[in-house]
Amino acid sequence: MKGARPTTGSEPRKRPAGTSAAPESPVFIPTRSRTDVRYARNAILRASDTRDLLRSEPLNKHLTLGHSPDPDDAFMFYGLAKDKFDTKGWTFEHVLQDIQTLNERATRGELDITAVSIHAYPYIAETYALTACGSSMGDGYGPMVVARYTMSIESLRGKKIAIPGERTTAFLALNLILGVGTFEHTVVMFDEILPYVASGKADAGLIIHEGQLTYADHDLECIVDLGAWWKEQTDMPLPLGGNCIRRSLGQEAMEEVTAILKQSIEYSLAHRDEAVAYALQYARDMGHELADKFVGMYVNEWTIDYGDVGRRAVTELLRRGAAIGMVPDIGEIAFIG
């Protein structure tokens, strides 16, 4: 019964007449012998596979997969979306949202697999592991700051800049080049930044995705290409985004699923024309030729695997981010795959 004193398995001793009761403290005495416990444990092990006991949560082979509604991500996951190869019983629910939203959802651990900005990763590293495949690397190119008229990089300080999100890698790189707190910023949906700046609502805009190829259509000037700046600074590509997977799936499942993600990327690269045709539905203001160019910029050998250089680039970017107080220092990153 609730509130009842713990039992010892035997009747309590009677107090000799004339003596007072000593204050009681609860004493818990196990009611099972070591033999009983060992028998129960062995029965459990016989009933269940040992690996299932070690897994932190029941295995569910239907996973949510979050990525951006843009051509490079669509291209990357074409094979999965269209069931082009055997996924060994794993199924995927594709969740298409902008990268800022995916970054925010990752902080709440809402998706099993998700695209994430490298800038955001230190904030979710306890919940998610970065996969070795699926990166978007700008090798001498990347996010740009654009404006209605030409100005120096230094002139951007003190200006109002429209950005696609505070946890995007583009925003981290912008703070690395200009300095933290040296400019005003306002968050605008990534595909609305170009008209936002063109209409004079901001002095400049930080553009990502296909805006890097279409900004001139809005009569805007490129002030700085942050991928080119990073390459000059480090001689490495700028790691913009990656895929991460929930750690609670367990090491074995993470490795198996990551291999499937890699297979999807390899399938799309091997069937480029049909994968680009599929990705065109997410290519805003781009025809086939321009979409193919954009896909080639961000789905390539770096996407199949970061490699040593890509891993060093991630480490260096986050080290510099921690040095200016933009991200927590998480030390060395162990990639899955």
Q: Which residues are catalytic?
A: 209
∠ CA 273-274-279, rounded to 5°:
95
Instruction: Report how far residue 285's alpha carbon sits from residue 273's, in angstroms, rounded to the nearest whole number.
Output: 19
The one-letter code for the residue type at 159 is: K
Task: Please give the radius of gyration of the chain, using alpha carbons only, rounded to the nearest integer.
Answer: 27
Beta strands in 144-192 (DSSP E): 144-147, 160-163, 184-187
Three-state SS sequence of 253-307: HHHHHHHHHHHHHHHHHHCHHHHHHHHHHHCCCCCHHHHHHHHHHHCCHHHHCCH
The one-letter code for the residue type at 267 is: Y
Instruction: Report how far residue 141's alpha carbon sits from residue 159's, in angstroms, rounded to the nearest whole number.
Output: 23
**Are the C-beta atoms of residues 67 and 77 closer than 8 Å to each other?**
yes
